[in-house]
Structure 1
Amino acid sequence: MAVVTQVAAEVMAVAGGTEDNTLAVLCALLHDTLEDTALAPDVLESVFGPAVLAGVQALTKNDGLPKDQRMADSLRLILAQPPLVAWVKLADRITNLQTPPAHWDTEKIAAYPPLG
């Protein structure tokens, strides 16, 4: 959970008070939800709305694609969203450059940052 709040804090630090950063903060808090939980996308949409769902889906890797195609697909989806969603991806990468979360196993640490 600490990583999620760190990503949101990074987004808020960059966004400051210059614009409405609600979309970015919600996407930051929820960015791993579809990857790491059994929550259905329609539930996420019903609670947070279609813009947040679209942002979270853009930030979610498509594990159905070959690994060498995932990054290009992810970037395509992110670039189709408001720029605030790209901030979340950058904030997540910045956060993941710090000490890996305690719950990551050795294999995940060795594989990060993934290409997809």
Structure 2
Amino acid sequence: MTILISIPSYRKVELDTEKSHTVYCIGVNTATQSYHLEKRYSEFEALHKKLKKKRSDLPHFPSKSVLKWNPKVLETRRTVLEAYLQVDVVSGSEIPRSLLSFLNLPNIDSTQNMMPNLNNSSYNSAE
């Protein structure tokens, strides 16, 4: 089974006048399901910490930024986070359980292929 993954966009979530954050819209497609989920940067950071315990060859992880609402910063972070998720999608490699859990796919066999989906445009980038 192939799993397609992409982060086509992000959006700003305003909780009240003083609190807001960005969520990254993740598209996940398998042979039996297709869905979207949203994750905050802090959730990506937690995933990174889990993966780092088991692997030393992880790709660059984007750092926090004081310019967190700058569209260029957000777009760069989106593309880097997408590439980060796709590092473990090499055909034939085992997908880490923590990544499957992050994607809400805990029952998928971790030895299945996972391929990037760069053409998913279900969301549009927004500030």
Q: Same fold, TM exceeding 0.5? A: no
Q: Which one has a larger percent helix, Structure 1 or Structure 2? A: 1
Quickly name the TM-score band, shorter chain normalised. Answer: under 0.3
Q: Which one has a larger percent strand, Structure 1 or Structure 2? A: 2
More relative contact order in 1 or in 2 (CA 8 Å, sep 6+)? Answer: 2
Question: Which is greater in Rg?
Answer: 2
What TM-score comes out, normalization by structure 1 length?
A: 0.28
